[in-house]
């Protein structure tokens, strides 16, 4: 379970057995949501926030921060997904303490 970012207490990560579409999970305490990246011709055209089956979704405040974060870091997240799942590279977690704008 590679953790790729930690942002305001939200763990942003992949599961090791992931599948397409490219997506990332946001975990806060026992809650979890995911962001799926819709990619057409190599461009991210949309991000869909979804619930994770069997998990309580992120609380309202953390969900808003998660949405904002994945929107700002979408290119980095997709690159890390490709590096990990396609090129089998190790991924370093980056901790971000302040709010992204």
Determine the average pLDDT of the residues in 32-48.
96
**Banded model confidence at residue 83, pLDDT cuts 50, 70, 90:** very high
Asked if residue 76 belongs to a domain, the reply is yes
Asked if residue 19 belongs to a domain, the reply is yes
Asked if residue 15 belongs to a domain, the reply is yes
- Under 8 Å between Cβ of 69 and 76: no
* Enclosing H/E stretch for 60: helix 60-72
Q: What is the pTM of this model?
A: 0.92
Closest CA to 94 of 73, 66, 64: 73
Q: Give the lowest-confidence range in 11-25, 40-54, 80-94.
A: 11-25
Statement: residue 17 has pLDDT above 90: no
Q: Domain residues for 40?
A: 3-96
Asked if residue 101 belongs to a domain, the reply is no
Total tally of structural domains belonging to the chain? 1
Asked if residue 17 belongs to a domain, the reply is yes
């Amino acid at each position: 379970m590679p953790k790729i970012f930690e942002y305001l207490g939200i763990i942003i990560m992949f599961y090791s057995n992931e599948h397409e579409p490219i997506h990332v999970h946001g975990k806060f305490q026992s809650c979890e949501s995911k962001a799926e990246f819709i990619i057409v011709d190599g461009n991210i055209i949309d991000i869909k926030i979804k619930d994770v089956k069997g998990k309580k979704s992120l609380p309202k405040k953390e969900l808003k921060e998660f949405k904002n974060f994945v929107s700002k870091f979408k290119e980095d997240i997709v690159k890390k997904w490709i590096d990990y799942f396609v090129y089998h590279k190790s991924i370093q977690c980056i901790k971000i303490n302040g709010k992204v704008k």
